[in-house]
Structure formats: structure tokens, C-alpha cells
Amino acid sequence: MPPQIQPSEPRSVDSVTEWHDEADVVIVGYGGAGVCAALEAARAGADVLALERAGGGGGTTAMSTAHMYMGGGGGTRVQRAVGFEDQTEDMFRFIMASADDPDEEKVRLFCDESLDHFNWLVEQGVPFKDSIYPERTPEQPNDDCLIWSGNEKAHPFRELAKPAPRGHKVQSMTQGGPVLFGILSKHAEEAGVRLQCDTRVLALITRGSDGRVCGVVALQDGQERNIRARRGVILCAGGFVMNPEMLRNHIPELLADNVSPIGNPHDDGAGIRMGMAARGTGIHLDEYFITVIWYPPSSLTKGILVNERGQRFINEDSYHGRCAEHARRQKRAFLIADNACFGYPDSGLELIATEESIADLEKTLDIPAPLLQQTVEVYNEHAARGEDPLFHKHADWLAPLDEPPFAAIECSYGTAHYQVFTLGGLKTRTSGEVLTEDGREVPGLFAAGRNSCGIPRSSWGYCSGTSVADATFFGRRAGRAAAAAKTW
């Protein structure tokens, strides 16, 4: 059994008696951010060594659907092929409105260069079909490319920016992640990146009074090895949803019944902790993605989400993650449907009641009378006119709930099945340099992907595709910056 050493405080270079390996740029973790950082650093002429804890690369990126949030510049090839123009300013305004504390510089660059990023992926051979899956669903069941992957068409976002679908799925009948990672890792190998798997990085090595990062300590075959990084170390080791202690410290509300952390087993925040121990600042560590998958069938969007007092709390045409975050904040949450819009949720969420009247449903759900009846009455009156003055659900999804029987689907947090992963990470520049609390660079240290805090940073505004697009986009930038850094 290898020793159970937690990645921790940096080691001083003074304690290093031997360097076992070295490279210009050392990458910690070889998922989406890591492979892009490695590829760009190698293409910039650096000698690159990637260290991966698992038996092979890919991480959570290779488990993902590989929706990638891209657009702007008039539209990607796919957006234009299916009839959408997409202006950079609309993408920028939309993303800025999707977080409490967006990093404007990052969002600006991400949007300005999104079309270039799409074209770069295409040049590498990453396939995107010129098609759209028009149905409302978290994930297309086929290899269609575009999907409405966020809140673009929902209030209040549709009033702030012209909506466009920006979720581009890497072409695959199943998950696009393996396709994406397979292509990028092949290029990285050809560019000369050395990959060492079954290698767990434990700590950074620093030198001098400014704490310059000059290498890492890694565990290989049960032995600690010191690996020198001449130009820089790039932390790309993913999020921390598999670390209950970090969750308890930063997002205790996620440690509830029936909440599944999703990601790879090594999502334990090691990179974030190593970076923070080297004086990097962790930001938005309390932010997360959350979902309870209550559609398809999309017709359920014509239902209403209500709480334990029979009150609505969100426009139901919002992205599933936004609905889930608002449902999480209620004591209980139910989706109420009538016979006309009902369908069993594909995800298997439980149908907990069917009754011939809303009054009976209210009783069965233990909602104080006549709160649910009033909610449905007011909703129906306005829905008949194609209006929703309370939450502004789009007219496409408005119809009175008046055809019995009426049904309730369980969406309560702690009872229904929710899934989560983390979004917070190290504060970085747009080129990946890790920053201290007072805004200075930690010399020699870079981070990307979920080791950094990037574009996605709120549960209520999250859009599918922002994580993988962010990891690959900023991973590439960190790779180029580290390759150009001064040697020590």
C-alpha cells in the first residue's frame, strides 16, 4: 500500500537531494485542461512532462458529454449552418449575467476568441456535425451538435442578450468526451509530450523568499520522486467534489441525502490545495453545479414547480440546473402536471401522487389549503392568455393546467436524486498565472480547468458546456504562458 499522504505544504528545494526527472513545463493532471496545456506548451517548443494519477489520461473530461460552450463572431460554422447568427456582445452579456461575480477580463477574452477556439478544435480534427437537436433536453440522445444548453431563452436572460444555442457537442452517438480527449492526446503525443500515469503529485517544491515554484514531489511505484520544472508547473488536477472534508468546509449543503457527487474519483481538490498552500488564493470555493433532471419529456415544462406552501419559485423553462438550485432552496419541491402535459420523467424521478382535483392533490402533498389551488388558479388565468406575470415563463410553455388527473413529481432536495460538482478554484490571470490574495503572481505556478475558477461560477446561472470549453480554452493559454516563462 502506498502511504496515504495528503498533498499539502510545499517542500523547500533545500530538502531536495536529487532530481529524478525534469522538464521545462510540468503538468499536474491530464484531463481536458492538462492535455490542452501540454499540447500548446510543446508546440511552443517546451519540453513537457505530464503527470497523471490515474492509469490513463482523460479525467472527468473524458467522462463528459463534451458540450462545449462556443459562439460569437457572427456564429460558428455549426451555428450558421443551422440558421443562427451569434454576436460576440450577446454571448458576453449573457455570460456576464450568469454569475454573481464574473471575471470580466476572462469572460471578454473567452467570448472574443471563442470562434477561434472552435476553429482550432476543428483544425485538430475534433468533429462537430452541422446540425441542431431542437428539443428541450439536458443531453441530445444522438450525434447532433448544437443544443440550447443554458438559460438563453428564459427570463431574465432573454431580455439581456439575444438568445443563441451555444452548446456544441463533440460528434458522438454517446459521450463526446472520449472523442475529444482521444484526438487531443494523440496530437500531444506527436508534439513530444511525455506522459507518466499512475503518478500522483503530492506537493509543490518552492525556492527562494518569493516562493518560486520549481518542481513537484510525485509518488510513483510507492516511491517519492522529485521532478524539476525549469519554467513552470501547471495545475490541472480537476475539482473537489469527491473530497467530503473540502465539501464540509466550503459547501456543506451538498452533503445531503440522495445527492451524488459526479466526476472522476480523483476529484479531491489536490491541485487547489497545493496551490493554496503555495500562497495562491482559492475563490468561489462555495460554488457548484447542481441538477435534478426532471425533463424530458419537454412537455413537463408546461407544469409548475411549487414548494411546500404551494408557491412557484422559478420560471420552469429555465435550464435544469437553475431550476434545481431554486428547488434546493425550498423545504420541499414538486412538479405539478395535468393530464395534457404529463409524461414520466426519463430520469426516473418519482411520481408521488395523482388525483382528480388540485384540491385533492394539495391534501395528499400536505400543502395547507387552499394555497396550491390559488397558485394553479392564478397561473391558469394568465396562462390562458399566454402570460406569466410572476415568473415570465415563455408563452411557448404556457397552457392552463386544467385536464384531470393531476400529478405531482417529487423534486425535493434530500429526497429526489440530485447530482453535483464543484466550480471554485485558484484565482488566475487569463494566461493561467496563479494569484495571491493581494493580486501578485506565485512565480512559476499556473492553473487551468477546475483547478482554477474560470467562466462557470454559479449554480443558478450554470450552462452546459462552459466547463469543458473553459478548461480547454484557458488550458491552452496556460500552456503557452508557461512555455514562455523564464527558467530559474
Q: Which residue ranges make up the site for ligand FAD (CB under 6 A)?
A: 7, 28-34, 51-54, 57-61, 63-67, 200-201, 236-238, 262-264, 266, 270, 421, 449-450, 464-468, 471
CA angle (202, 288, 59) in 5-degree steps: 45
Name the residue whose CB lies closest to ligand FAD: 31
Q: Of the two residues 53 and 457, which places its CB atom closer to ligand FAD in the complex? A: 53
E strands in 173-297: 194-196, 199-207, 212-220, 223-235, 259-261, 282-283, 288-291
Nearer to ligand FAD, 379 or 421 (CB): 421
Q: How far is the CB of 250 from ligand FAD (least distance, A)?
A: 16
Cα distances (Å, whole numbers) of residue 331 to 328, 334, 362, 363 = 8, 10, 16, 17
Cβ–Cβ under 8 Å, residues 85 and 297: no
Nearer CB in complex with ligand FAD: 312/457: 457
Distance of CA 213 to the CA centre of its chain: 28
* Closest CB to ligand FAD among residues 24, 268: 268
Quote the least distance from Cβ 355 to ligand FAD, whole Å.
36
End-to-end CA distance of the chain: 36
From the CB of 159, what's the least distance to ligand FAD, in Å?
25
What is the smallest separation between the CB atom of 333 and ligand FAD, expressed in angstroms? 23
Query: What is the rounded distance in angstroms from the CA atom of residue 33 to the CA atom of residue 184?
Result: 11
CB of 140 to ligand FAD, least distance (A): 11
CB 177 → ligand FAD: shortest distance, Å? 7
- Residue closer to ligand FAD, measured from CB, 301 or 467: 467
Helix axes of 177-190 and 114-124: crossing angle, nearest 10 degrees = 70
Residue whose CB is less far from ligand FAD, 58 or 296: 58
Of residues 32 and 102, the one with the C-beta less far from ligand FAD: 32
Element containing residue 421 per DSSP (H, E): strand 418-422
Shortest distance, CB of residue 38 to ligand FAD, whole angstroms? 11
Query: Cα separation of 314 and 308, whole Å?
Result: 14
- Amino acid of residue 210: D
